[in-house]
Every structure is written in C-alpha cells, then in structure tokens.
Structure 1
C-alpha cells in the first residue's frame, strides 16, 4: 500500500472512476467514469525525477484523451442521428464505438502506445496498467461485442501480435506488455461467450500479473540478461518469479491454465475450433519466451558476479506477500478441481 496519502486518494478515485464507468446506465456516464479513472492515473504515473516516466505519462495521456474524445463524439453522433439505447438499426455503430475502447485497453492493432508507455513506468504502475486500467473498457465492450468479422480480426491480431511481438524482446516490461496484449485477445473471446467467463479470466489474470510483477520487483530485474546474475541467496524469489511466469503462460499444472482451458472448451462448443487452434498455438509461443527467461535460472550451474551484494533481508513483508500470491498461482488449479469435484 502506498505510504503517501495523496497516492492512496488517487488509488481510491482510480478504482471509483472504474466503478462509475462499469455501473453507469448511459454512455455519457461511462465516459465520465473513464475520465475520472484517467485523471487519477496520470498523477500516479508521473515522476519528475525520471525522464522516461514523464515521457510515458505524456504519451499515455495523449492516447487516452484521443480515445475518450472519439468515444464521446461517436456516442453524441449516435444519439443525434438514431437512438441512444439500441444498436439494432445500424450494424456499424457497435464497431465505431468499440474502436476507442479497444484503443484504451491496448488491443492490437491499437497497441502501438502500450510497449513504450510500459517501458517508462515503475513496476507498481505497470501492474495497474495491465490489470485495473483494462477492466472498464473491456466491461463496456461486453455491451457491444458479438461474433463477427471485426471481433474475430481483433482477437486474431491481439493473440498473434502479443505472441510474436515478445519473441525478440530483452526488457521484462515489454515482454509482460506483449503477454498482456495476448491475454486481451483471450479476454475478448471470453466476452463473446459470457460476462461470468470474462470476470473469471480477468480475476485470475490479474492475480497472476500481480504475482509476476511483485516477484520481479523483489528480485530487482529489468532485463533478461540480469536473471542469471541475481543473488544466489534468493533462490525462493527466483522460484516464485519463474513459476509465476509459467503460470501466466498457461502451463497446465498451474492456475493460469484454468481460464484458458474453460475458454477453449467454450470455443469448441460454439463451433470455433479453427480460432481455438490459432489462439492455442500463439499461447504456446508466449510460453516459449517465458521459458527463454526461466531456462538460465533453471540450470544447475549459474554465474553470479562478486559485486552482487543486493540483499533482500529487509523486505520480509514484500517477500511474504509475493510468496502468498505465488502459492495461489501454484496450487490454484488443484484447489479449483477439488472444489468442483466436491460440489
């Protein structure tokens, strides 16, 4: 929890803006909620001591204002020309209103701002951008989304760009960014099936993303080549970080496999087997670059420079928090299976 009272207030208004947007019964109210959410997140992002942070917050602000202005314009045009409450008369209305929401959530091909912004943020803000900031736009998408050519194109582009884009990256932040884009594609598939499935996927994804971010922050790693040189005393933190990454990739023994499993079953039930095949293959590609990060540290022999004196002994609270999240990630699938069988 932030120690600064201003940050606590901004976090409350950030979540409040998201709740206003989600619970609103009009598009104008949803737009107001998105604006409250944006105006709360910008001060949380900005840090005068970090040049990259300032650049990232400015880029994020410009993109989000563009998306908000487009959304407001589209909604007003819809109200003036037709009826505000129905989308039956014009088949293109859901598409044009979905576009700014997809830009806000960072789905491909509207993802161009996402990697650059993530690269300039602190790990706490990265976690917020990957989880909380996606909730309101995707929830608003659920009112409009249906299986058509536009939706399928967005899903395929998000999963393919999210998997291939992360292959050549060395920055941990950019790898998590492209992973988030890939997961956005999966969430859109879940949205076409039911809101409950999307909620389940989003909650599990948020837990896993928080686990990965807290473990990476604890280990002090920002790039792949630093993973081999982390302190040998922190074996537990290494184990937590890599198992959480594999869970986020959807490896079967871990919790991250559960939502993907359910979404795949739903796709096959809805006669979307070709789409299921493509998204599973792209998910395997994301798993490959997680394994690329983990491989060096899963080796028995690893190098550690003599000047690596970074200590984690004073971070007992952070370590216990990460350990708790990591244990949920490791044992969640077993627990869910047991509960299902008992019921």
Structure 2
C-alpha cells in the first residue's frame, strides 16, 4: 500500500472509475467511468524527476483520449441513427463500438502504443496497466462481443503478435507487454464463450502479473542480461521470478495453465478446434522466450560482479509479499484440483 496520500486518493478514484464504467446502464455513463479512470492514472504515471515517465504518460494520454473521443462519437452517432439502448441495427454495430475499446485495452493490431508506454513506466504502474486498466474495456466489450470474423481476426492477431513480438526483445518490460497482448487474445476468446470464464481468467492472470512484477522489482532487473549477474545469495529470488514467469507462460504444473486449460476445453466443446490449435501454438512460443531467459540464467551463465550489492536485504515485507504470491503461483493449480476432487 502506498504511503503517499495523493497516490492513495488517485488509486481510489482509479478503481471507482472502473466500477462506474462496469456498473453503468448507459454508454454515456460507461464513457464517463473510463474518463475518471484515465484522469486518475495519468498523475500516477507522470513523474517530474523522470523524463521517461512523463513521455510515457503523454503517449498514454493521447492514445486513450483518441479512443475515448472515438467511443463517444460512435455512441452519439448510434443514438442519432438507431435505438442505442437495445443496440439493434446493422451487423457492424458491435465492431464499431468495440474498436475504440480494443485500442484502450491494447489488443493487436491496435497495440502499437503499448510497448512504448510500458518501457517508460515504473514497475507498479506496469502492473496497473497490464491488469486494472484492461478490466473496464474488456467488461464493456462483453456486452457486444460475438463469435464472428472480426472477433476471430482480433484474437488471432493478438495471440500471434504477442508471441512473435516478444522473441527478439531484451527488455523485461517489453517481454511482459507482448505477453500481455497474447493474454488479451486468450481473454477475448474466453469473453466470446462465457463471461464467467473471462472473470476466472482475468483474476488468475492479474495475480500472476502482480507476482512477476513484485519478484522482478525486488531483484532490480530491467533487462535479460541482468538476470545472469545477480548475487549468489538471491537464488530464492531468481527461483521466484522464473517460476512466476513460467506460470504466466502457462507451463502445466503451475497456476497459469489452469485458465488456459479451461478455455481450451470450452473452445473444443464449441467446435473451435482450429482456433484452439493456433492459440496453443502461439502460447508455446511465449513459453519459449520465458524458458530462454530462465535456462540461460540458471544453467549457462552465472557471474557475480563485485559491484553488485544485495539490494533486496532489509526489505522483509516485500520479500514476504513476493514469496507468498509466488507460492500461490506454484501451488494454486494443485490446490484447485484438490478442491474440485473433494467436491
């Protein structure tokens, strides 16, 4: 919990913006909720002392303002031409309203702003951008989303771009960004099948993203090559970081595999086997670049420079938080299967 009262206030209004947007019974109210959310997040992002934070917040503001203006324009146009409250009309209505929402959530091919913004943010803001900021647009999309050519093309593009885009990245932030784009494709699939399935996927994904961010922040790593030069004393921290990454990638023994398993079963039950095949293959590519980082760090190279002082000491609270989140990531799937079998 942040100690700064301004940050606490902004986080409260940020969450209230999401709640207003999700619980609104009109599109105008949903737009207002999105704006409250945006206006709360911009001051959290910007930092006078850091030029990259300011640049990222400006990029984010321009993109989100464009998406919000487009959404409001589309909604007003639909009100003037059709019956807005039933959303009856042409087959293009869901596509028209969903496009600015897809831009807000960073789904491909409207993801171009996402890596650049993530690169300039602090780890706490990265976690917010990957989790909380996706909740309202995806929830609003659930009112309109249908399994059609438009939705399928967005799902395929998101999973493919998210998997291939992260292959040649060296920055941990950009790797997590492309992973998030890939997960957005999975979440849209879950949303098209069942809203409850999306809620389960989103909650587990958010937990894993927070786990990865807390472990990476604790180790002070920003690029892949830095993972090979951590202290020998921080083996537990490296273990937490890489098990969390593998869980986020969807390796079977970990919690991250559970929502993907549920979505794959639902896709096969709905005669969507070709789509299931493609998203599983792209998920394996994301797992490949996580394994690449983990394997090279643990097995191939482990140097310890003399100047690398242990920065994690005297941070017991942060250590305990990261450890508890990592244990959820490690043992969550086993706990879920045990509970299912007991019932």
Return the TM-score normalized by structure 2: 0.99
- d(CA) in 2 for partners of 1:269, 1:298: 40
**Structure 2 counterpart of 1:287:** 287
Matching of residue 59 in structure 1 with residue 59 in structure 2 = yes
**Structure 2 counterpart of 1:75:** 75
Matching of residue 319 in structure 1 with residue 319 in structure 2 = yes
**Structure 2 counterpart of 1:127:** 127
Pairwise CA RMSD of aligned residues? 0.8
**Structure 2 counterpart of 1:2:** 2
- d(CA) in 1 for partners of 2:27, 2:242: 42
**Structure 2 counterpart of 1:210:** 210
Count how many residue pairs are aligned between Structure 1 and Structure 2.
Answer: 343
- d(CA) in 2 for partners of 1:13, 1:149: 37
User: 1:45-194 alignment to 2 at 5 Å?
Assistant: 45-194=45-194
Deviation per CA, 1:11-67: give whole Å up to 9, x if none.
000000000000000000000000000000000000011111110000000000000
Conserved 8 A contact 2:158-2:181: yes
Deviation per CA, 1:306-343: give whole Å up to 9, x if none.
11113322111000000000000000000000111111
SS at match of 2:185: helix
Deviation per CA, 1:156-200: give whole Å up to 9, x if none.
000000000000000000000000000000000000111100000
1:324–1:4 distance in 2 versus 1, CA, 3 Å: same
Q: Which runs of 5+ in 2 are unaligned?
A: none
- d(CA) in 2 for partners of 1:83, 1:332: 46
Q: Which runs of 5+ in 1 are unaligned?
A: none
- d(CA) in 2 for partners of 1:311, 1:164: 33
- d(CA) in 1 for partners of 2:149, 2:44: 38
SS at match of 1:108: coil
Conserved 8 A contact 2:219-2:311: no
Conserved 8 A contact 2:45-2:53: yes
Q: Which moved more, 1:301-310 or 1:150-159?
A: 301-310
